[in-house]
Every structure is written in C-alpha cells, then in structure tokens.
Structure 1
Amino acid sequence: MTTEWHALPDTIKTFMTALDAREDDRASATFAADAVVTDDGRDYRGRDEIEAWLADSVSEYTYTSEFTGATTTAEIVDVGQHLHGDFPGGVVDLHYRFTLRDALISRLVIEP
C-alpha cells in the first residue's frame, strides 16, 4: 500500500527528520537495543554500533534529501529518498526499509 509522509509511523518520521537534521542522538533513540542496520552492505548491530554509524554518516558528507514516497506491508515500511550532495556520484535514490517492534526500529536496510 502507498503511504504519504504524514501517515508514516511516528518513529520513522522522527528517525528521518533527525537524520536530515544531523541529530544522531535523536535518531539513535528510535532504535531497539538489539536493532540491526545494514548500510552499504555492512551490518551494524546493537545501539553502540548504530550510534557510531550514525555519527560517521552525519559527518561524512553534506547532502539534501527529499521524500519520494513510501509503501507499507504487514512487516516493512519502505521509504524512498532522493539524495543530492558531495558524496561519490552526487545523486542517489535510496530505499530505507524499516521493520518496527514495540514502536522502535528493530531492522533498517538502506539500499538503492
């Protein structure tokens, strides 16, 4: 099912806006203690690794992002983002695939 920004779960909206604002502490608070993030083919497990990944990712490149749409299934919320910045290639469309548990992110996969 297609989902508009305003209809996304609050946890996902909080994460995405905190990520855009480079607020890694606020973003990390949206994850379960045992969460797993996969980004660029690498897994980050647990709060400590996720916090380190967030700190690195918010400082590595400067970019802007635009919400391009979302779809939801019973288990996954897939949020599309268009990024433009000073990273290699300069432009990319990414999918942020969230799995939630008890209103926290238990799994996030970021890929084109």
Structure 2
Amino acid sequence: MDSTIPEPVARLVAAANSGDTQGFLDTFAPDGTVNDQGRVFTGRDEIQRWSDAEFIGMHVTLDVTADITTGEYTTFTATVGGDSFTGQSHFSFTVEDDLVEQMTITA
C-alpha cells in the first residue's frame, strides 16, 4: 500500500485483511459512519453489525490498486475478495484527529 494513505486508513485496511474486528472498529471515531452503496451505518455498534454480516464476517480482503489522498479525504480503488462481493470497488474516507469519520463504498 502506498505510504500516502493516512495511518488510520492503513490500519483499517490491515485490520480488515487480518479479520481483526476490534482493530477495524478502533479506527473509527465513536460517531463514525460507513456508507455502503447508500446504506449508512453510524457509530461503532451499527458498524460492527454491518461488518459482521457483510465485511469482516465475510472474510473480506482489500488489495489496494490505486489511491489518491487530498487533505482530509482519501480515495482508493481496491480489488475486494472474500465470501461475498468480489471485484473492484471504490472506497473514500474522511479522517479527523487520527480516526476515520466516514468510509464510503461505491462500485
């Protein structure tokens, strides 16, 4: 992964790839959000329920193939693997105070 990706996003990807649910959740601000194709999950409890059913619970892997970082916004393309959706997806992040405020996933 390119070193231009902010540390909280790099930790999030590493936690997802290793199946570390708590490490994944710890990258988010307490009121952080995941927007998965328009479905929004707010706070670590909702994010965990989503992740257990659709992300880490599905043994997701993220192979970052291209990234762009601009200020507080980070966007990357990844090849997604696992037991559910596989293929290319776009991820964008807002980071503040070393925590992920928002992660948005689009096809």
What's the TM-score bracket when you normalise by the shorter of the two chains? Answer: 0.7 to 0.9
1:19 maps to amino acid: A
Q: Work out which of the two has the higher radius of gyration on C-alpha atoms and give 1 or 2.
A: 1
Q: Which runs of 5+ in 1 are unaligned?
A: none
State the TM-score, normalized to the length of structure 2: 0.86
Q: How many residues align?
A: 106
- CA drift of 1:75 comes to 3.3
Question: 1:9-24, aligned counterparts within 5 Å?
Answer: 9-24=6-21
For normalisation by structure 1, the TM-score amounts to 0.83
Distance in structure 1 (CA, Å) of the matches to 2:82 and 2:44: 27
- Residue 74 of structure 2 is matched in structure 1 by 77
1:84 and 1:47 map into 2 onto residues whose CA distance is 23
Q: Percent identity?
A: 27
User: C-alpha separation between the residues in 2 aligned to 1:37 and 1:55?
Assistant: 13
Deviation of residue 64 (structure 1)?
4.1
For 2:84, the equivalent position in structure 1 comes to 87
User: Residues 50-95 of structure 1: CA distance to partner in whole angstroms, max 9, x if unpaired?
Assistant: 1222222222x3454321010122331002101244435xx42111
Amino acid at match of 2:56: V
CA distance in 1, matches of 2:5, 2:46: 26
1:103 and 2:98 correspond: yes
